[in-house]
A and B are shown apart, each in its own frame.
Chain A
Amino acid sequence: MAFLEVKNINYSYSKGTPFEIAALKNCSFAVEKGEYVGVIGHTGSGKSTLMQMLNALQKPDSGAVLLDGKDINTDKVTARDTRFRVGLVFQYPEYQLFEETVRKDIAYGPTNMKLSPEEIEQRVLEAANIVGLPSDLLDKSPFDLSGGEKRRAAIAGVMAMKPEVLILDEPAAGLDPIGRKVIMDMINKYRASTGATVLLVSHSMETVAAVADRILVLNKGTIAMDGTVDSVFSRAKELIEMGLDVPAVTRIAVCLKEMGYEVNTGVYSVADAADMLLHLLGKKEGTA
């Protein structure tokens, strides 16, 4: 039995009005403990809705979400407990900070869990350490931090609940390459210290390919692909047709293939692409 299981979920917005749109159509997948899954899809593919199903913020119209084999939508108490076990970091989480100090803001989740003050304090420090917030910032107002620091404080607020599943919706949106790397390192650090399952939502294939073990591709409310990074990238052409942002090197490989060269279109890292090109050039030189 899988740790987190989604079974035949259907969901539509604005039911019963002329504006009704099917957001998710018959989605099923399962995630094991400790997996690092990348969730990819175009804007409006339903990825954010699907993620909100996983911690019972949204209820599917039909189908079920099982955590440890138990339906998370049976009653309000189970739903609320699920939110502590499945942590969800929204897009631009820095816009949800509200407390007087960073310390209090990070403590909001653990306080809602009704933990002891000592436990809360310890968790705040741990989370701040994982996201790399120096302790002198903890007593500042979150509104006085820089953009990047705010984002880190907000993510720490979810990590402090020590969720067994951590879902991050575009955690690096709007950050520069260094900021992006810092966020990815934070996630790895959290995984290493807790062994948590991580779902990373992004529209950038490049980011996901670099970190995830497995990729889910959503397209128009259905799960279009589900497999290892290599197996998903081997269908690079389909990804481009779905309007996804594949790495530049993958696009080059697809173009070369269309021009008649025998290349593997599944490359996604610069190093692999270099090997591929060298191999190609070498072969040409050999034949010439």
Chain B
Amino acid sequence: MIRDITIGQYFPGTSLIHKLDPRMKIVLLVLNIAALFLCRNFFSLLLMFVMSVAWVLLSRIPFATILKGLKMILVILVFTAFLQIFYNDDGTVLWHPVESWDFKITTGGVFSAVFIAVRIISLILMSTLLTYTTSPTLLTDAIERLLSPLKVFKIKVHSLAMMMTIALRFIPTLIEEIDIIMSAQKARGADLETGSLVQRAKALVPILVPLFVNSFRRAYELAFAMEARCYGGDEKRTRLRVMKLGGKDFAMLAVTLVCFAAVVVTSYVNMGSFFLFEKVI
């Protein structure tokens, strides 16, 4: 069912991760993602994977919920890993069906496939955790503050943040709307499940057209409502919640920085074959 989509959803809670300053959470996420992409061997990757699992455990969000979110990207995951097998010719050859072809599977290929899969999983774990543990308002508030230095270049940071808030706010509304439109067209005999690819694509027209029309209508209504109330959040707006960094924010920053350093050292400083594997990618 379409209602099962959990990406971008927020699960209220009181865990350490929930209580972190949202600005710090975004910074830590960026650091962690950077570290993930800097990983060059299995040791550093394992470290980052353990880190992301630790984050999930700390958030006290049930693993079942997180796995449900992962299910959505399973296809992409398998596809990417599968392609990766053929992009790396290092190591010993495992399978080389036709001698004259360049097509072969090597240990290097398999390693890099596993590598990329673990990397994507860790990436998704950490980034979904950000939205799972931070309410949309706090999140955009944090983005606005992090981007506020850009005001120097006359970039309307507040408007950008407002747009993001609105977009996030309307995701559940849109999902509900798709559900209703699908049911309504099914009630008129729409067949969305059978037929060739072309037929199925055509069957989507009765759903997409009303969805777009209604979205535009809603956007206009919202804009008019905001204008009618003289909305002008750009200028000298004071805040109800003042964000302040605390001890736990700096503690998490310290842990993340240590991991980051460990990844960089093990990946880029030559230490021979001391760690599980030398350079994989």
Interface residues, chain A, with chain B CB atoms under 8 Å away = 14, 52, 55, 57, 76, 80, 83-84, 87-88, 90, 93, 95-99, 108-109, 112-113, 143, 157-158, 161
Contact = CB atoms under 8 A, between A and B. Distances in A.
B230 interface: no
A87 B186 CA distance: 10
10 contacts: A55-B187, A57-B183, A76-B193, A83-B189, A87-B187, A98-B207, A108-B206, A112-B188, A113-B189, A143-B213
B191 A112 contact: yes
Given A83-B189, A84-B189, A93 B184 contact: yes
B15 interface: no
A276 B189 CA distance: 49
Interface in B183-235: 183-191, 193, 205-207, 209-210, 213-214
B181 interface: yes
A52 B210 contact: no
A143 B14 CA distance: 48
B219 to A, nearest CB: 14
Contacts of B183: 52, 57, 90
The range of chain B's interface size is 20 to 34
B189 A109 contact: yes
Given A55-B187, A80-B189, A108-B206, 13 more contacts: A14-B3, A57-B186, A57-B187, A90-B180, A96-B181, A98-B207, A98-B210, A98-B213, A109-B188, A112-B191, A158-B188, A161-B188, A161-B189
Contacts of B186: 57, 83
Contacts of A57: 183, 186-187
Given A57-B183, A143-B213, A98 B206 contact: yes
Contacts of B191: 80, 112
Nearest to A90: B184
User: Which 5 residue pairs are nearest across A and B when measured between Cβ atoms?
Assistant: A112-B189, A98-B209, A109-B188, A88-B187, A96-B184
Given A57-B183, A90-B180, A98-B205, A157 B188 contact: yes
Contacts of B180: 90
Contacts of B207: 98
B187 A83 contact: yes
B189 A97 contact: no
A96 B210 contact: yes
Contacts of B185: 96, 108
Nearest to A158: B188
A109 B185 CA distance: 9
Contacts of A90: 180, 183-184, 187
A96 B207 CA distance: 8
B187 to A, nearest CB: 4
A157 B189 CA distance: 11
A113 B188 CA distance: 9
A52 B183 CA distance: 9
A159 to B, nearest CB: 11
A232 to B, nearest CB: 28
Q: Give the residue among B189, B210, B214 with the most A Cβ atoms within 10 A.
A: B189
A100 to B, nearest CB: 10
Interface string B167-190: 000000000000011011111111
B93 to A, nearest CB: 47
A180 B181 CA distance: 23
Interface string B112-154: 0000000000000000000000000000000000000000000
Contacts of B187: 55, 57, 83, 87-88, 90, 158
Contacts of B213: 95, 98, 143
A114 B188 CA distance: 12
Nearest to A111: B189
B256 to A, nearest CB: 31
B46 to A, nearest CB: 32
B188 A95 contact: no
A157 B185 CA distance: 10
A155 to B, nearest CB: 12
Contacts of A14: 3
Contact of A108 (B3, B188, B193): B188
Contacts of A95: 181, 210, 213-214
A142 B67 CA distance: 43
A158 B181 CA distance: 14
Given A57-B183, A90-B183, A97 B188 contact: no
A64 to B, nearest CB: 20
Q: Give the residue among B188, B193, B206 with the most A Cβ atoms within 10 A.
A: B188
A157 B205 CA distance: 16
A85 to B, nearest CB: 11
